[in-house]
Structure 1
Amino acid sequence: MTELKQVEGRTKFGPGETWYRITGDLGSGKPPIFILHGGPGAAHNYADSYKLLSRGGRAVVHYDQIGCGLSSHHPDMEPGFWTPQLFVDELENLVDHLGQRQAFHVLGQSWGGMLAAEYGSRRPKGVKSLTIANSPASMELWVSEAMRQRSEMPQDIQDALNKHEKAGTYSDPEYQKATMWVYERHVCRVVPFPPEVTASFDQIGKDPTVYHTMNGPNEFFVTGTLKNWNIIPELHKINVPTLIISGRHDEATPACVKPYADNIKGSRWVIFEDSSHMPHVEEKELCMKTVGDFLDAND
């Protein structure tokens, strides 16, 4: 494969800066796509493969949301600073900084898909389509489905998780091992994890401010400010073509995802049979074709 053209930059946002990377040419004539990573606070690394959408001549914009990755970190901010509205405003700022207000697509993965739904429900000018990938429509659904999945796991895994969550000993090796057992089945089934996936987990470990504040200690134990988040009442406001993606083994189970399909008029839902939470890693080429064809049809 020929090497993809990439340019990096930074733009001022709030008390710091947002780092971004453009793959391809913003002047190609096709509306670019902005990639919203998960976490919150997981940075762009694990979603890197979405740069392959540029192979058809479309610019792909990755960025690190404020508080993580290569953007400004703010470890001393009060929990109330970290809100969905903050990240909506950050995306708006980046779109305008890059001069793309006239037409662009948005793809959000996991928390990024939650953010994409928040964004789309506000009907911002210029959005041609949304792709909501591997995202719950409410955290109540996410937590209840995590507990259901947990009830089907081997007893020793359940016991380790329950013991250390009750004690608050999340860094205990036994808890870490049990957590990894879950991740390898419901987060990314490519084991060992590819370098870009490991990089995202590693950078959360170095500065977990946003992840711990908004989510909690891990993917399936939610104690943060998002624990009561629910976008379902707002989904009817989304008025652009919407592609919904999930994996057959996803921690974002069909019950978590279904409200998007039920409440966004004309949306299309694709389930990747051999994937969990990262079809863009687990079934890369099929995922790129699915998303690419959808974008081409909605330029």
Structure 2
Amino acid sequence: MEYYISEVEEVRQKLGLEKFYLAGHSWGGLLSMEYALRYPEHLKGLIIISMIDNIADYVTHLKEILNDEFASYQVEYMSDTELRGEYQDPAYRKYIDHMYKEYVNRKQPSKMSHQIDIQSKPVYNTFQGDNEFIINGDLDGWDRSNDIHNIKVPTLLTFGAHETMPLATAQRMQKSIPNSRLVITPNGGHNHMVDNPEVFFTNLRRYFTDIFQGKFGE
């Protein structure tokens, strides 16, 4: 965590930015919160995309959506497979692929087909685990829910209506962060900027417009 926070700060210094807007999605949203709490003097504003302020609520929500999507014997099968570490089990991969299509990338647009996967799997596995629907890495236990009230800059919280992060926690965050706004993208998963870009970028544009016009928080 210290390494990645220091990387963001190093980029700021190299670019010569005294103050700037910071946006982060998912893990990037977590990192953005950490940076905002460490270096508030350098931020003009904060945009947290599909990330809540603690892992425990995320784990609880994952269990809820798994129980919504699958029969109890299927959930038990997935749990047993994870305990054995057999993440390439064909039936397990089928269940996980279903969850990705429902809660992460709902639209699967063809324009994404050109993208190259540059994710560092060892880093992801160390922090998260094998996939988005299990947490057994270093992030397990992460919690900033008692600290986010110290984030004072204009903050946009943007989430998909049908995603991995619990919206109830997002609503509580909006109440905790003094100068914040929560927006929900309809029919959007965890990557709701891709699922419903018209709504996502309209909300993003309104965030900046209202700040520049002195209307944010009204």
TM-score, normalised with respect to structure 2: 0.89
1:86-123, Cα deviation, whole Å (9 max, x unpaired): 2111111001111122x311111111111111111224
Tell me which of 67, 88, 91 is aligned to 1:151.
67
**Match among 145, 148, 169 for residue 232 of structure 1:** 145
| Deviation of the 1:257 alpha carbon | 2.1
Specify the alignment match of 2:36 in structure 1: 120
In the alignment, the residues of structure 2 paired with residue 197 and residue 138 of structure 1 have an alpha-carbon distance, to the nearest angstrom, of: 33
What percent of counterpart residues are identical? 27
Larger relative strand fraction: 1
Match of 1:186 in 2: 103
For the residue of structure 1 that corresponds to 2:178, the secondary structure is coil
SS in 1 for 2:199: helix
Q: Equivalent residue of 1:246, what SS? A: strand
After superposition, the Cα gap between the structure-2 partners of 1:252 and 1:296, relative to the gap in structure 1 and judged at 3 Å, is same
Structure 1 counterpart of 2:94: 177
Q: Matched residues in 2 for 1:124 and 1:140: separation?
A: 25
Are residues 173 and 194 of structure 1, via their aligned partners in 2, closer, same or farther at CA, if it must alter by over 3 Å?
farther
C-alpha root-mean-square deviation of aligned residues, in Å? 2.0
Deviates more, 1:266-275 or 1:153-162: 153-162
1:280 aligns with 2:206: no
Runs of 4+ with deviation above 6 angstroms: none
Out of 57, 68, 82, the residue aligned to residue 165 of structure 1 is: 82
| 8 A Cα contact 1:130 1:240, kept in partner | yes
Matched, 1:91 2:8: yes
| Residues 54 and 143 in structure 2, CA contact (< 8 A), matched pair in contact too | yes
> Which stretches in structure 1 are left out of the alignment for 5+ residues?
1-82
Q: Is the 8 A contact 1:122 1:238 kept in 2?
A: no
**Which stretch has the larger CA shift, 147-156 or 89-98?**
147-156
Alignment equivalent of 1:105, drawn from 21, 33, 38? 21
Structure 1 or 2: larger helix share?
2
Which string of whole-angstrom CA distances, capped at 9 and with x for unpartnered residues, describes residues 48-103 of structure 1?
xxxxxxxxxxxxxxxxxxxxxxxxxxxxxxxxxxx2x22111111001111122x3
Query: Paired residues, what number?
Result: 211
Q: Is the 8 A contact 1:143 1:222 kept in 2?
A: yes
* Structure 1 CA distance for aligned equivalents of residues 69 and 114 of structure 2: 24
Gaps of 5+ in 2: 213-218
Preserved CA contact (<8 Å) 1:135 1:256: no
> What's the secondary structure of 1:144's corresponding residue?
helix
Distance 1:273 1:184 in 2: 16
AA partner of residue 140 (structure 1): A
CA distance in 1: counterparts of 2:4 and 2:128, whole angstroms: 15
- The alpha-carbon deviation at position 278 of structure 1 amounts to 1.3
Q: Distance in 2 between matches of 1:256 and 1:217?
A: 24
The answer to whether the aligner puts 1:216 opposite 2:96 as a matched pair is no
Is the 1:145–1:255 contact (alpha carbons within 8 Å) kept by the matching residues of 2?
no
Shift of 1:157: 4.5
Tell me how far 1:195 sits from its aligned partner: 2.7
- What's 1:42 paired with? none
Q: Displacement, 1:189?
A: 0.3
Contact (CA 8 Å) 1:242, 1:266: kept in 2 or not? Answer: yes
1:285 is displaced (CA, Å) by 2.1
Paired residue secondary structure (1:128): strand
From 155, 166, 169, the counterpart of 1:242: 155
Distance 1:240 1:234 in 2: 14
